[in-house]
Amino acid sequence: MKSVSSYLGDWWRLVIPYFRSEERWIAIGLLVGAIVLTLAAVTVNVAFSEWNRRFYDSLQNKDEAAFWTEMGNFGWIAALAIAFGVARGLVSPYLRLRWRRWLTGHYLSHWLDGRGYYRIELERKVDNADQRIAEDLRLLGFYTMTLLLGLISAVATLVSFLFILWQLSGPMSLSFIGLDVVIPGYMVWAALIYAFLGTWLANLVGRRLIPLNFLQQRYEANFRFGLMRVRENAEGIALYRGEPRENEVLEAKFTDVFNNAWRVLVTEMQLVFYQIGYGQLAIIFPYIVTAPRFFAGAITLGVVMQTAQAFGQVQTALSFFIDNYTNVAELRAVMDRLKGLQEAIEEKPAENIAVASEPGRADVGTSGLDLALPNGQTLLRDLNLVLPKGSSTLITGTSGSGKSTLFRAMAGIWPFGRGRILIPAGARVLFLPQKPYIPIATLRDAVKYPDENSTASDADIVSALEAARLGHLAGRLDEEAHWSNTLSGGEQQRLAIARALVFRPDWLFLDEATASLDEANEAAVYGVLKERLPGTTMISIGHRPSLRQWHEQKLELKRAPGETGTLNVVT
């Protein structure tokens, strides 16, 4: 287990931003309220301890009047306990809920900012970022409040009941073992020794839970991701008859879940076995040590019961770590996962490939552009490319030569390499990949995506759909659907063409954006793009010779495996 200072340092760095945020006064107010209610609950326990002594003394003395008086006192003590418990049950969860909302917004914005989500997946720095945002942020607040309020309660209880226990336990002479020594407040020392010894033993038993819980969260997330992949690629798997292979993969992932869960279970059972034995012994221990004084007539039954209760409270407070070892271990795993995600998000790559928006510039181009693969292998070196405005360009090349990587670099999302991408200031640029992204939304919003401020009317959208040969969808603008599962590959690509017609970009980049269309449909959509977007400069990446007729300039990317490629003009 990491040192306490390291644990607390990591916890502080994850927790403190919310309490310094724009919500800090509400957050601090709720936290203070939860702490006050926790301390109030301890005060009620102290009051109940005093009631406990008076009540049992009334029974021993057969004092009926005192008995009914204490029954009345119990009513208001119980009422306060209920009121404080209900209030705490509202304040603490509400704080956790607001905290989770803020954390989710904070992590989402940083995850999406600068395409961090894309870079993380590309570089494989952390696994299952979605699970860390959706689940670990919730658990951070839950375990933090549970442990923090529990610790405050334990400290307050310890201070309060140590004083009571000191007063009640009296001195103990060691003359029975031949020592002329008297120990004052001996029950206090007994409780301290009992709890500290138990905590040390609990750490020996339970410290294996921290790495096991970390792995469990990873394996669970991997299994869920595998199930999601099957769902999203259902058609492809079905066409390939890939069910046996997918079943094998999913079973392998669940085997990791099962095996690690079994290790967690065995470790937890060992810890529970120890905790239960420790707790059961604590029940009878105070009666054993107070029995001689009670039977000697030195103390009353009420004192015995109050002493036993006070000992139990002190022992419980000192055993806070033992009772919450599993929570501490799980919080450590949560913090490690969030820390890894935070570091991956905040680790901004050097701007090796910069996208420069230049006022007065008319062309799109590159300056000293080097492109590389994630493993460092160079694809292109010192590329100085000019794509003239008004002159459409076709880029061809063999598969694996780096065409799509160049496309991503022009879009400003490829982090591996160096150089500059030059774009005219204020230019509207749209990139259409081979597999278009279509949000789960109404068809209207799917066509407008990503331009949230689009002023296109329904008539404009219908016209674009008809021009892209999707007229049969014109009556479904208000229908919300998972369009990626509803439409064929060719229909999805034609929807992206309709999106371009609505967006009306100055520069349109198409990476195999018509690869799923037959040549007749491909010719139709390129004809529509030329006709309806006369001011748009198109740069296409593709293989088909039929694309040549729609472009004034052709560039060919040549690259042998393992070598640096070249981009040449083809006449």
Closest CA to 190 of 324, 372, 315: 315
Return the residue matching tokens 């993380």.
120
Stretch (H or E) spanning 507: strand 507-511
Number of H-type helices and E-type strands within the chain:
19, 15
pLDDT, residue 197, reads: 73
Name the amino acid, one letter, at 345: I
Return the residue matching tokens 């860390």.
132
Q: Give the list of residues 6+ apart from residue 523 with CB closer than 8 angstroms, or none.
A: 546
pLDDT, residue 1, reads: 45
Tens of pLDDT, residue by residue over 62-92, are: 777 888 888 888 888 888 888 888 888 899 9
Closest CA to 334 of 224, 210, 207: 210
Stretch (H or E) spanning 537: strand 537-541
E-assigned strand segments in 327-470: 353-358, 364-372, 378-383, 386-387, 393-397, 417-424, 429-432, 441-442
pLDDT, residue 331, reads: 87
User: Using CA atoms, how far apart are residues 292 and 117, in angstroms rounded to an integer?
Assistant: 69
- The pTM of the full predicted model, rounded to 2 decimals, is 0.67
Tens of pLDDT, residue by residue over 88-139, are: 889 999 999 999 999 998 888 888 876 777 777 777 677 777 778 888 889 9
Local confidence band at 188 (pLDDT 50, 70, 90 cut-offs): confident
Q: Give the list of residues 6+ apart from residue 262 with CB closer than 8 angstroms, or none.
A: none
Name the amino acid, one letter, at 323: D
pLDDT, residue 500, reads: 93
Name the amino acid, one letter, at 364: V
Q: Give the list of residues 6+ apart from residue 256 with CB closer than 8 angstroms, or none.
A: 219, 222, 223
Pairing of strands 172-173, 182-183: antiparallel
Q: Please report the domains of the chain, with CATH numbers, ordered by start residue.
A: 4-346 (1.20.1560.10), 353-570 (3.40.50.300)
pLDDT, residue 322, reads: 67
Handedness of CA 333, 339, 342, 347 (dihedral sign): negative
pLDDT, residue 230, reads: 80
Q: Prior bond to 450 cis, omega within 30? A: yes
Closest CA to 27 of 155, 157, 144, 152: 144
What's the token pair of residue 516?
A: 């799923």
563: which DSSP letter?
A: S
User: Using CA atoms, how far apart are residues 366 and 210, in angstroms rounded to an integer?
Assistant: 50
> 178-182, 320-324, 342-346, 417-421 — which one is most confidently predicted on average?
417-421
User: Using CA atoms, how far apart are residues 536 and 507, in angstroms rounded to an integer?
Assistant: 6
Tens of pLDDT, residue by residue over 288-301, are: 767 766 776 767 77
Question: 320 with 287: CB under 8 angstroms?
Answer: no
Tell whether the model's pLDDT for residue 37 goes beyond 60. yes
pLDDT, residue 479, reads: 92
Tens of pLDDT, residue by residue over 469-484, are: 999 999 999 998 888 8
Question: 149 with 143: CB under 8 angstroms?
Answer: no
pLDDT, residue 238, reads: 74
Closest CA to 536 of 563, 508, 557: 508
| 509 bridge partner residues | 431, 539
User: Using CA atoms, how far apart are residues 245 and 261, in angstroms rounded to an integer?
Assistant: 24
pLDDT, residue 530, reads: 92
Question: 448 with 461: CB under 8 angstroms?
Answer: yes
Q: Give the list of residues 6+ apart from residue 465 with CB closer than 8 angstroms, or none.
A: 447, 471, 473, 474, 495, 498
Tell whether the model's pLDDT for residue 440 goes beyond 70. yes
pLDDT, residue 329, reads: 78
Question: 33 with 147: CB under 8 angstroms?
Answer: no
| CA count, 13 A, side-chain hemisphere, 421 | 19
Pairing of strands 537-541, 507-511: parallel
What's the token pair of residue 507?
A: 């520069």
pLDDT, residue 175, reads: 58
CA 11 to chain centre: 15
CA angle 328, 333, 335 (to 5 degrees): 90
Cβ atoms < 10 Å from Cβ of 31: 19
Tell whether the model's pLDDT for residue 198 goes beyond 80. no
Q: Give the list of residues 6+ apart from residue 518 with CB closer than 8 angstroms, or none.
A: 490
Share of the chain above pLDDT 70, in %: 89
Cβ atoms < 10 Å from Cβ of 408: 21
DSSP of 375-400, one letter per residue? TS-EEEEEE--EE-TT--EEEEE-TT
Share of the chain above pLDDT 90, in %: 19
Handedness of CA 132, 137, 140, 146 (dihedral sign): negative
Question: 222 with 256: CB under 8 angstroms?
Answer: yes
- Give the chain's mean pLDDT: 82
Tens of pLDDT, residue by residue over 248-261, are: 888 888 999 899 98
Cβ atoms < 10 Å from Cβ of 5: 8
- Range name among 72-81, 202-211, 514-523, 545-554 with the lowest pLDDT average: 202-211
Tell whether the model's pLDDT for residue 444 goes beyond 50. yes
> 122-131, 211-220, 401-410 — which one is most confidently predicted on average?
401-410
Tens of pLDDT, residue by residue over 273-289, are: 776 776 677 777 777 76
